[in-house]
Amino acid sequence: MIQLKNISKVFDSEEVESHVLTGLDLSIHQGEYISISGPSGSGKSTLLSILGLLDTPTSGDYYIDGVKVDSLSMHDSAKVRNEKIGFIFQSFNLIDELSVLENVMLPLKYNANWKDKNAIRTQAEECLKKVGLEHRMNHKPNQLSGGQQQRVGIARALVGSPSVLLVDEPTGNLDSKSGDLVLDVLNQLHAEGATICLVTHDPRYADLAHIKYKLSDGILETA
Ligand X SMILES: Nc1ncnc2c1ncn2[C@@H]1O[C@H](COP(=O)(O)OP(=O)(O)OP(=O)(O)O)[C@@H](O)[C@H]1O
**Site residues (vs ligand X, CB under 6 A):** 11, 13, 18, 20, 38, 40-46
State the minimum distance, in angstroms, from the CB of residue 154 to ligand X: 21
Nearer to ligand X, 40 or 222 (CB): 40
Report yes or no: 37 and 88 within 8 Å, Cβ to Cβ: no
State the minimum distance, in angstroms, from the CB of residue 21 to ligand X: 8
C-alpha distances in Å from residue 20, one per residue of 5, 37, 77, 109: 15, 15, 22, 36
State the minimum distance, in angstroms, from the CB of residue 215 to ligand X: 7
Nearer to ligand X, 70 or 83 (CB): 70
Distance of CA 216 to the CA centre of its chain: 21
Nearer to ligand X, 151 or 212 (CB): 212
State the minimum distance, in angstroms, from the CB of residue 136 to ligand X: 30
State the minimum distance, in angstroms, from the CB of residue 83 to ligand X: 25
Give the residue from 112, 209, 133, 106 showing the smallest Cα distance to 165: 209
Q: What is the DSSP letter of 45?
A: H
C-alpha distances in Å from residue 102, one per residue of 14, 120, 121, 148: 44, 10, 8, 15
Nearer to ligand X, 46 or 103 (CB): 46
Nearer to ligand X, 9 or 190 (CB): 9
Cα angle: 101, vertex 123, 63; to 5 degrees: 110
State the minimum distance, in angstroms, from the CB of residue 200 to ligand X: 9
220 vs 146: CA distance, rounded Å: 32
Nearer to ligand X, 42 or 103 (CB): 42
> Which string of b and e fits 17-55 if b means at least 16 CB within 10 Å?
eeebbbebebebeeebbbbbbbeeebbbbbbbbbbbbee
Residue 178 φ/ψ region, left for φ over 0, alpha for ψ in the -120 to 50 degree band, beta for the rest: alpha
